[in-house]
Amino acid sequence: MSGATSQDGRSMRERMLAGDPYMPDDELGAMSRRALGLTDAFNATTLDEGRRRTEILTELLGGLGEGTVVRPPLRVDYGTYLTIGDHGFVNFGLVALDCAPITIGEHVQIGPNVQLLTPTHPVEPGPRRDKWEGAQPITIGDNVWLGGGAIVCPGVTIGDDTVVGAGSVVVKDLPAGVVAVGNPARVVKRVTD
């Protein structure tokens, strides 16, 4: 499907970003190929190529904060819709499927093999077979820590200062200042200084 427009005249990219059902088309395919090329280049860098890594991430991402470190490998759908605030740390193996915006605050720590997943798919077999998709944004507040292997599902907001335990699956919003663990993630305590 080339740069298709829907019956309402919007492109599939516009529908995707609005959270409406969309189908991948040539425009989205080109954006995905661009991201794949840039992530491949980023993932091929060495430890001594810090400046080159930053240059690639600046070109790839919608925003990269000052002093933020991202360790390869990294995988994104588009990159353009992923923003990371200042002084963050992203460990090895982040998968950020940014079909909807993913906004990561300042001073966020992301453990290895974390997944931030905005895409959704129809439950009904017909639309799913026809390749319809959807997406809902993810927002991660300031000073959040996502433990290794955590999965954040579509539409979730995580409040400031919250800790998500390793291997947890976050399927609904988490308030600020809590520790949440498990599948599905549940608040087990408040965080205090």
Judge whether 121 counts as a catalytic residue.
Answer: yes
Residue scoring higher pLDDT (8 or 191): 191
Let me know: does 79 contact 62? Beta carbons within 8 Å: yes
CATH architecture of 12-190: 3 Solenoid (2.160)
121, 131, 189, 190: the catalytic one is: 121
What is the distance between the alpha carbons of residues 164 and 157, in angstroms, rounded to a whole number?
12
pLDDT in tens, 32-88: 999 999 999 999 999 899 999 999 999 999 999 999 999 999 999 999 999 999 999
pLDDT tier, 3 (very low <50, low <70, confident <90, very high otherwise) = low
What is the distance between the alpha carbons of residues 93 and 142, in angstroms, rounded to a whole number?
21
What rounded mean pLDDT belongs to the chain? 95
pLDDT > 90 fraction of the chain, expressed in percent and rounded: 93
* CA 107 to the chain's CA centroid: 16
For CA atoms 59, 62, 67, 68, give the dihedral sign: negative
pLDDT in tens, 10-19: 999 999 999 9
Phi, psi for 176 (deg, rounded to 5): -70, 150
The DSSP H or E segment spanning 115 is strand 115-117
Question: What is the pLDDT at residue 193?
Answer: 76
For the chain, the structural domain boundaries read: 12-190
What is the distance between the alpha carbons of residues 70 and 116, in angstroms, rounded to a whole number?
15
User: pTM, whole model, 2 decimals?
Assistant: 0.94
Give yes or no for residue 2 having a pLDDT over 70: no
**Tokens at 147, concatenated:** 């433990």
Is 161 in a helix, a strand, or coil?
A: coil
Q: Which of 22-26, 88-92, 138-142 is the least confident region?
A: 22-26
What is the distance between the alpha carbons of residues 82 and 98, in angstroms, rounded to a whole number?
6
With a CB cutoff of 8 Å and minimum separation 6, the contacts of 177 are 159, 160, 161, 162, 190, 191, 192
